[in-house]
Amino acid sequence: MINVRCDMPFSTEKIFQKEDWQFSIRRLLRRVFLEDWLTKVIALFITLTLWLGVTGLRAPKPARLRNIPLNLRVSNNIEVTNSPVQEVDLVITGDKRKIEQLNQRDLVVALDLTDVPAGERIVQITPDNVSVELPTGVKLEEIQPNKIAVKLEAVIEREIAVRAEIEGGAAEDLEIYDKIIAPTKVRLRGPESFIKSLDFVSTEKINLENRREDFTVRQVALNVSNPKVTVLDTVVDVTFRIGEKRIERMFSVFVKDAANGKKAAVILYGARSLIEALKPEDLQVETIKNAAGENTLNLILPVEIQGKIEIRKLKIN
């Protein structure tokens, strides 16, 4: 008899364990792919839709903002004196929701020209040299137009004479003798070309209707048409001297101590009543020596009208 010895006994337990494991895998796959497949498809569709929606909103979207105000920043001693572009269009990208929430009326594009010297310039406009308040996640990509022409002038100060502007007139038979303005000059600050072209600056109109005597108007404002000019002394006082209407009259007066009875032609200017009341014999003309030792004529007026009459001509006929 032959005895056979088996050192590796055959295990049926391992076979059964392997079969159970394979069965579990098949059951899991069946459950995942075959059971309740409609519910799973719907859930998958909803998940994909939500994912696409969220990632789509977050993905950068381009947009154009039209007619945004452009503000030019210049240094204190420079002024823009032409009429450059006032509005620009912006091309932006970013979160769609944030772009849709933008209020264009709140946006202003500021272009920094503080380092640009005076003169006529063509200035490039880029996202790097402007500032505009955009929400986080929204980026400025482009500005149109991307170039503008500007004229930059130095700002200067200068004293300018003041001229009083009036409307209406004094009462009948009266006239304005004089307008006294205090101060006579005021300081203006503005673009060099305009300030240098000014000969005077006018006051607001002062009404003289039916005025019969001297009067003073205080704190009269000044008119400057150029909005880029600043009046540093903003008001003046204006005093008006009013009197009887004046006339001019010629007299022929003998020259005192003159040989051959020479006469002098005298033209006087003053209030009508004073001039008309004068007679040639009320006037005296004499010859005197001036500082240079030369003979010259001198008119002597009646004491009561001295300082009230203007001598416009005094000459030997």
Per-residue confidence (pLDDT) for residue 291, from 0 to 100: 84
CA distances to 28, 75, 124, 258 from 86, rounded to whole Å, are: 70, 19, 15, 80
List, for residues 286-298, the tens digit of each pLDDT value. 988 888 888 889 9
Which pTM was predicted? 0.61
Q: What angle do CA 221, 225, 231 make, to 5 degrees?
A: 50
List, for residues 134-160, the tens digit of each pLDDT value. 988 899 999 999 999 999 999 999 999
Q: Residues near 129 by Cβ (< 8 Å), separated by ≥ 6?
A: 111, 112
Per-residue confidence (pLDDT) for residue 243, from 0 to 100: 93
Q: What angle do CA 76, 68, 127 make, to 5 degrees?
A: 70
Q: What angle do CA 159, 163, 166 make, to 5 degrees?
A: 155
Q: Residues near 152 by Cβ (< 8 Å), separated by ≥ 6?
A: 74, 78, 79, 80, 81, 113, 116, 117, 118, 119, 120, 121
Q: How sure is the predictor about 280, in pLDDT bands with cuts at 50, 70 and 90?
A: very high
Contact 183, 161 (CB under 8 A): no
Per-residue confidence (pLDDT) for residue 292, from 0 to 100: 84
Q: How long a stretch of residues is the chain? A: 317
Please state, rounded to an integer, the average pLDDT across all residues of the chain.
Answer: 85
Per-residue confidence (pLDDT) for residue 2, from 0 to 100: 45
Rounded to an integer, the average pLDDT of 237-254 is 95
Rounded to an integer, the average pLDDT of 168-181 is 90
The yes-or-no verdict on residue 48 having pLDDT over 60 is yes
Closest CA to 113 of 70, 72, 149: 72
**Residue 193 to residue 79: CA distance in whole angstroms:** 11
The yes-or-no verdict on residue 56 having pLDDT over 80 is no
